[in-house]
A and B are shown apart, each in its own frame.
Chain A
Amino acid sequence: MTVVGLICAALLAAAGALAVVRMERGPSMLDRTIALDVLTTVLVGFVAVQTAVSRRTDTVPLLVALALVGFVGSVTIARFASKEPPGQGRVRTREEIARDEAQRLGLDESDAAAPVRERTEEDV
Chain B
Amino acid sequence: MAGVDWTVVADVVAAACLIGGALLAFAAGVGVVRFPDLLSRMHAATKPQVLGLVLVLIGVALRLRTGPVTSILVLVAVFGLLSSPVAAHMVGRAGYRTGKVRHDLLLVDELTVDQDAADARAAQDEARDHHRPTPAEVARDTEGRPPARGGGRPVG
Contacts and interface: CB of A to CB of B under 8 A. Distances in A.
Contacts of B66: 57
A66 B95 CA distance: 25
A21 interface: yes
Contacts, number: 164
Q: Is the interface of A mostly helix, strand, loop or mixed?
A: helix
Given A41-B48, A52-B14, A55-B64, A15 B28 contact: yes
A52 B60 contact: yes
Contacts of B98: 28, 30, 81-84
A82 B99 CA distance: 9
Chain A interface size band reads 35 or more
Interface of B: 11, 14-15, 18-19, 21-23, 25-26, 28-30, 32-33, 38, 41-42, 45, 48-49, 52-53, 56-57, 59-60, 63-64, 66, 69, 72-73, 75-76, 79-80, 83-84, 86-87, 90-91, 93-95, 97-100
Which 3 pairs show the lowest CB-CB distances between chains A and B?
A: A18-B29, A15-B29, A81-B94
Interface of A: 1, 4-5, 7-9, 11-12, 14-19, 21-22, 25, 28, 30-31, 33-35, 37-38, 41-42, 44-45, 48-49, 51-52, 55, 57, 60-61, 63-64, 67-68, 70-71, 74-75, 78-79, 81-84
